[in-house]
Chain A
């Protein structure tokens, strides 16, 4: 009677060492989820082992090729400058966006801005006609009046006496007189 033995290929010593130092990590997940995982990780240029390594804090970010980085930086700088400097407007005929570029366009934009009275934020407002309803200052009290009104001496003394009397009547008032 012949024995039914499973024939297993003998592993090489290096294979044995490798398998000992690199144990398997496995899990069963639904097929749809596995496909999604692989697709998601592919967008990050990673595989499942890389994801596990990164989660374990063992994987450093892969350095991108220098040319790719240069292109990305140039594009980012170009877009930033475009957003800052470009003045777009809509074409009156087709409605598409046009950027001010030619000297004629710049001149027209300059004229429009001037006509619409655009200017520095910090500049003072120009002298506008007065629209407030505040009472006008009498001419004799104005600073420009060369002869301001002066009280007669007697009238002034009366006023001073009244003040002194009022202060003396106050109980907690202290005078140096």
Chain B
């Protein structure tokens, strides 16, 4: 197992397809909150959906 494989096993990818408009709104919301997608996903792990309201 090389470094790349180890990394990919440790840090799996969360991937989804969204409509362009939704993607743009999501990115705008993230920009408004000053967060990255990774931070948003980490906050989903901590909260119980209370941070889902736009």
Which residues of A pack against B, CB within 8 Å?
19, 21-31, 33-34, 36-37, 40-41, 43-44, 46-49, 51-58
Contacts and interface: CB of A to CB of B under 8 A. Distances in A.
Overall SS of chain B's interface: helix
A40 B43 CA distance: 11
Nearest to A31: B12
A40 B54 contact: no
A116 to B, nearest CB: 46
A67 to B, nearest CB: 24
Contact of A21 (B19, B28, B40, B42): B19
- The number of chain B residues touching the other chain, given as a range, is 20 to 34
B1 interface: no
Interface of B: 9-23, 25-26, 28-29, 36-38, 40-42, 44-45, 47-49, 52-54
Contact of B29 (A26, A44, A55): A55
A24 to B, nearest CB: 5
